[in-house]
């Protein structure tokens, strides 16, 4: 559904402890079991090599706000972007990474997102370096019309093996 094909930089793969279909499946299952993502109804469809895809089955509580009961609320779309870009970032972790946090999330609403049943988001990592990861994403309605875009920056946390023992 992206307007242009996703191209990723595979340089991070050489240090990745786990690659391939089994790793992607494990990531997807683990992500979908996290209450933070289950609560709004987000579902990770795929994540690997810096690319992620998430779906949301739209229900009445996802609609409204701003006097528009037929459209998906912008807060829900922003929530979706944070999880979506985060999943793309996490799929690039190497062995030393133990966590990540969102630094910035910039959402641009291109058009109202009207959906009877489902919306979908796609994200990719643009650049990774110096402990920061830059990504972008798009959310589409069920007809494939672009509704919102997003850019984000995530900070990676590493295991500190070289920290001296106290005393």
Neighbours of 156 (CB within 10 A): 20
| Sequence-separated (6 or more) residues with CB below 8 Å from residue 131 | 155, 156, 158
pLDDT of 167 reads 55
Residue 62 exposure: Cα atoms within 13 Å on the Cβ side: 22
Ordered by where they begin, the domains of the chain are: 10-158 (3.10.129.10)
| pLDDT tens for each residue of 74-86 | 999 999 999 999 9
Given a cut of 60, whether residue 46 has pLDDT beyond it is yes
| pLDDT tens for each residue of 123-138 | 999 999 999 999 999 9
Which pTM was predicted? Answer: 0.79
Residues 7-26: what's their mean pLDDT?
53
Work out the percent of the chain whose per-residue pLDDT is above 70: 82
């Amino acid at each position: 559904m992206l307007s242009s094909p996703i191209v990723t930089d595979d340089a991070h793969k050489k240090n990745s402890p786990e690659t391939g279909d089994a790793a992607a499946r494990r990531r997807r299952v683990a992500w979908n079991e996290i209450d933070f993502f289950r609560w709004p109804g987000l579902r990770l469809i795929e994540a690997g090599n810096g690319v992620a895809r998430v779906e949301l089955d739209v229900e009445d509580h996802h609609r409204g706000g701003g006097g528009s009961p037929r459209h998906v609320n912008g807060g829900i779309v922003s929530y979706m972007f944070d999880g979506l870009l985060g999943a793309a970032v996490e799929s690039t972790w190497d062995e030393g990474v133990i966590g990540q946090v969102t630094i910035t999330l910039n959402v641009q609403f291109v058009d109202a997102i009207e959906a009877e049943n489902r919306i979908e988001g796609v994200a990719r990592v643009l650049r990774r370096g110096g402990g920061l990861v830059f990504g972008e994403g798009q959310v589409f309605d069920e007809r494939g019309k672009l509704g919102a875009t997003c850019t984000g920056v995530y900070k990676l946390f590493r295991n500190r093996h070289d920290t001296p023992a106290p005393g």
